Amino acid sequence: MEGLARYIRGIRILDPAHGRDELGDLVLAQGCIQDPQTFPLDQIQEELDGKGLFACPAFIETSFQAHTPGHGRDGDLGSELRAAAAGGFAQVLLRPDTNPVADHPGVLWEQRRLADQEGLLRVHLSAALTHALAGESLSELGRLVDAGARAFSQALQGIPNSRILRLALEYAADLRLPVFLFPEDSTLAAHGVMDEGPTSLRLGLAGRPMAAEEIGVERDLRIAANSGARIHFPHLSSAAAIARVAAARHRGQAVSCAVSLHHLLLQDHDVGYFQTAFKTLPPLRSQTNREALLRALANGAIQALTSAHTPWGRDWKGMTFAQAPFGIGTIEWTIPLALRLVQEGVADLLTVLGLLTVGPARILGLAVPDLRPGSPADLCIIDPDAAVIPASNRWSRAYQNPYVGWPLQGQLRYLFVDGRLVYLHP
């Protein structure tokens, strides 16, 4: 089913794929963007006034946990896809750290079936690189490609054994899918629950040193360089690790990295007195590192932004900091959070939007989303000046939200996927 034929008049068009930022009209019909000059006006079924709004391609999420298959208490594909839609996303890549782990074709078939049943957004599947993500033996990667995998991924688990990493990357290279790695020296990271630094010392919590990530990136880059695999680090937290990735890219290696909005907006100190809403993996780092991440973003050293969507339901609210699971599930607040980076002068609007659209598409080998006639009508219409003060999540089943009370700006008004209206702000 395709949406109505719509004419959007006088809207700021932001198209990062082509560096375009201008006022104009947009026509959506037959699931595609149409040329307003040539499209027969008598076929228009609805007109929208774009005054004060901007249009941009809908976003792509490269790290999306929907707990499907899973227990259900922490959300499911239904609840989390709605949250993603509210965040301006038309496409998501499911992470393989489900229960059971997506290391078997049957899990991917089930995910595909449920995604088609929901039908809301474009859902891409990833397959666990190793059995149960344990990093000990390879999954049947060939069969998983046949089952629809778009990427191989280790989600939030490293591969301690370097020889297995080498074999996995060499084997995956033949199958031509990107490999998402979680780079970490697990023996050095040990049981750390937050960044090792003054805050972990103060709270008596086990620290996870940033060096563990840097060593992990260095090792993974070296092993990947000889394997021919295209690798991606979906959530880096250390500015020094990003510099290593940038150097490898400069040498011509097929590698990319993404940073979560949380690592750009939050830091270890925010944990305060054991606030589990701020427990992430990799952990939130120091202010100095966060400022370096913002500079890396401005310098183009980061290829994509992610919400690292990891919802946890209210069953976990009684857990101590060490017991609580890692992760934040705030994908539905992505637009005001991302626009915050623009307002604070970290990067311009086209750059930030590009990191949510063009960047992820290139990493996943998808068509680069844009707003040219003929492209699929996947787009967001956003009111950049609307005040937004995050409260509890409305769509996601994630119980906690570290951004509660932040004075933000930027409200999604409409989200179109294939020309269909899938989100409308009341």
Interface residues with other proteins (CB under 8 A) are: 190-191, 197-198, 201-205, 265, 270, 272-275, 291, 294, 317-323, 341, 344-346, 402, 404-407
Identify the CA nearest to 409 among candidates 329, 343, 355, 346.
Answer: 343
Single-letter amino acid code for the residue at 373: P
Report helix, strand and coil shares of the chain as percent, to nearest 5: 35, 25, 40
CA triple 407-413-418, angle to 5 deg:
135
Give the helix ranges, DSSP H, for 120-238: 141-146, 162-175, 186-189, 198-203, 210-227
Nearer to other proteins, 227 or 401 (CB): 401
Closest distance of CB 364 from other proteins, Å: 29
Cα 308 to chain center, whole Å? 5
Q: Which two tokens stand for residue 315?
A: 């069953």
Nearer to other proteins, 178 or 313 (CB): 313
Closest distance of CB 291 from other proteins, Å: 7
Nearer to other proteins, 3 or 402 (CB): 402
Closest distance of CB 404 from other proteins, Å: 7
Closest distance of CB 196 from other proteins, Å: 8
DSSP 8-state class, residue 77 = H
Nearer to other proteins, 50 or 402 (CB): 402
- Collapsing DSSP to helix, strand or coil, 56 comes out as strand
d(CA 231, CA 305): 16
Nearer to other proteins, 409 or 411 (CB): 409
Nearer to other proteins, 326 or 406 (CB): 406
Closest distance of CB 48 from other proteins, Å: 32
d(CA 20, CA 13): 7
The CA-based diameter of the chain, rounded to the nearest angstrom, is 69
Residues 6+ apart with CB under 8 A from 52: 383, 385
Closest distance of CB 345 from other proteins, Å: 7
Q: Which two tokens stand for residue 140?
A: 């049947």
Nearer to other proteins, 154 or 401 (CB): 401
Closest distance of CB 331 from other proteins, Å: 20
